[in-house]
Amino acid sequence: MPYRVCKSFYVESGHMLSKHPGLCRFPHGHSRRIDVVLRAPALDNQEMVCDFKALKLAVKDEIDRLDHAMAINSQDPNLPALERLKDRVVVYDNQDPTTEVMAKRLFDHIARELHAGSTYTDERGNHYRFPAGLSVERVRVTETATTWAEFGID
C-alpha cells in the first residue's frame, strides 16, 4: 500500500457556465478548497512522501492565478466585457470552467510539475525537489459546503 499525503489550498474565485441552463450561467463566486493528494511507494531520505513546501511552490502560480479571478469559457459571448480585467480572468479553451474541469486542469498541471524534475526555491533561498516515484493521485475541488468534484487515477 502506498503512502499518501494531502495539502489543501484555498481560493476565492468566480466562474460563469455558459452551457448551463440555470443561474450558473451568470457570474457567481465560490470559496474553494483545493485538496491535492500525492502518493509514493516509499518514503524519501527525509522520511517523507515529499516536502509540503515543494508542492506549495510547484502550484503557487496556478493557485494565485485562480484566486480572486473570474473563470470563463473562451466561447462565452460575455468574454469581451471582461477583457479590461485581463490578469483576473482565467479563460478555459472551449470548455465551461466547471469544478470538474478545474480539478482536471490542476491535476494535469501538478502531474507535469512532478515529472519535470524542477527545483523550487523559497523566499529564504532553500531548494526543494520532488522525490522519484511520486505521483499525483487526485485533486479535489470543493465548491460549496456540500459539493465537490475530483479528478484522479485509480
Structure confidence by residue, pLDDT tens digits, 113-148: 999 989 999 999 999 999 999 999 999 999 999 999
Q: How far apart are CA 61 and CA 113, in angstroms?
A: 12
Give the pLDDT of residue 111.
97
- Rounded mean pLDDT of 23-43? 97
Structure confidence by residue, pLDDT tens digits, 55-71: 999 999 999 999 999 99
Confidence of residue 54 (pLDDT cuts 50, 70, 90): very high
Give the pLDDT of residue 86.
86
Q: Give the other-Cβ count within 10 Å of 25's Cβ.
A: 15
Structure confidence by residue, pLDDT tens digits, 71-98: 999 999 999 999 889 889 999 999 999 9
Domain positions in the chain are 3-152
Q: Give the other-Cβ count within 10 Å of 132's Cβ.
A: 11
The rounded mean pLDDT for the chain is 96
Do residues 66 and 60 make contact, with C-beta atoms less than 8 angstroms apart?
A: no
Give the pLDDT of residue 154.
77
Give the pLDDT of residue 94.
97
Mutual angle of helices 99-116 and 52-66, in 10-degree steps: 140
| Domain topology for 3-152 | Tetrahydropterin Synthase; Chain A (3.30.479)
